[in-house]
Amino acid sequence: MRKYIFPVFIAFMLILPFLYLPVLSAAGAWKYPSLVPESWSAAHWDRLLASRDGILPVVTLSVILSGSVALLVTVTGFIFGRLLTGCSGKRQIQAAGYLAYAFSPVIYAYCLQFFFLKAGISGTIAGVIIVQFLLFFPFSVIYFISHWGRNMVSLEELCFTLGSSRRTAWRMALIPVSVPALRTAFLQIFVFSWFDFGLTQVIGQGRVSTLSLTVWQYLAEADPYIAAAGSCLLLLPPAILMLLNEKTIRFRP
């Protein structure tokens, strides 16, 4: 039993602040210094669901945007992972990818802003998808390079030995065995994109309102109750995805 106390304590401390989110979003009056709300109310949720043009279009846009980014990045990463397997200079490839990836997204976005303005895609959904693609692509390639190891290459060779064409080998063998890896990458990149703030804020120029930007808006307006309700919506998908997926979904490299 003693073996469990410290880990459980740490986990409790880490999770406690977030259990507070649903409580805050459903609190009526909550004056200092009481530890629990004096009354409960659904007003904040009502307000969130009915606010401005409604939260529904924002959620829909976020899902579509993150879904397209995740699909695009997963597929290109999977293909590039294969193309770069057996290439020399794997270490440099990895270093370059991580460098781009660890760079502060908001500064990265400011660096690219000029080119996006010139191309006329600043402030558009396409612009946000492209900038997110640029940042998450290296992560995906590095992930799939480690997936395309010896075993996968042998499997491909085996298919060829047995007389299959390149196309059948991919369709019948390589893609099916890669489904778990593809799923993990898709979910992971979906979460990256779902939470993105800096890139969307700068390149979207306030015209692409995703859920995380909307939550930020509520925070900036010093409206913690409705921000808490928005945060619950924001946190729900990754928490579910982590339950469904054996591999951990993380926020960063």
Partner 1 sequence: MSAVYRGLYYGISLLPLLAGIAYALAYSLGLAGIDTQGFTTGYWVLVLRSQETWTSLLLSMSVALTVLLIAVPVGLILVLFYSEALENAVIRYLLFLPVSVPPLIAAFMGTEWLSASGMAGRVVSGAFGTVSPSLVNNYWHTGIIISMTMMSIPFLTILLWQYSRAEKLSGLAELATSLGATKRQILFRVAIPVLLNRALPNIGLMFVFLFGAYEVPLLLGMQSPRMISVLIAQKFRKFDLADIPQAYSLTVLYAFVVGIIAWMVSRTNRETA
Name residues contacting partner 1, limited to 191-230 (CB under 8 A). Answer: 191, 195, 197-198, 212, 215-216, 219, 224, 227-228
Q: 3-class SS at 104?
A: coil
Alpha helical stretches, state H, 120-223: 125-147, 150-161, 166-168, 175-195, 198-204, 211-220
Chain-centroid distance, C-alpha 188? 6
Judged by beta carbon, residue 141 or residue 169, the one nearer partner 1 is 141
In the complex, minimum distance from the CB of residue 248 to partner 1, in angstroms, rounded to a whole number: 5
In the complex, minimum distance from the CB of residue 7 to partner 1, in angstroms, rounded to a whole number: 4
Q: 3-class SS at 86?
A: coil
Question: Can residue 137 be called a binding residue for partner 1 (CB under 8 A)?
Answer: yes
Find out whether 156 and 173 touch, Cβ atoms under 8 Å: yes
Out of 42, 49, 99, 119, point to the residue binding partner 1 (CB under 8 A): 99
Q: 3-class SS at 27?
A: strand
Q: For the purposes of burial, counting CB atoms within 10 Å of the CB of 136, is it exposed (0-12), middle (13-18) or buried (19 or more)?
A: buried
Q: Which of residues 39-78 bind partner 1 (CB under 8 A)?
A: none
Question: Can residue 190 be called a binding residue for partner 1 (CB under 8 A)?
Answer: no
Question: Can residue 152 be called a binding residue for partner 1 (CB under 8 A)?
Answer: no
Give the x-and-dash track for 170-189 against partner 1 (CB under 8 A): --------------------
Question: Can residue 103 be called a binding residue for partner 1 (CB under 8 A)?
Answer: yes
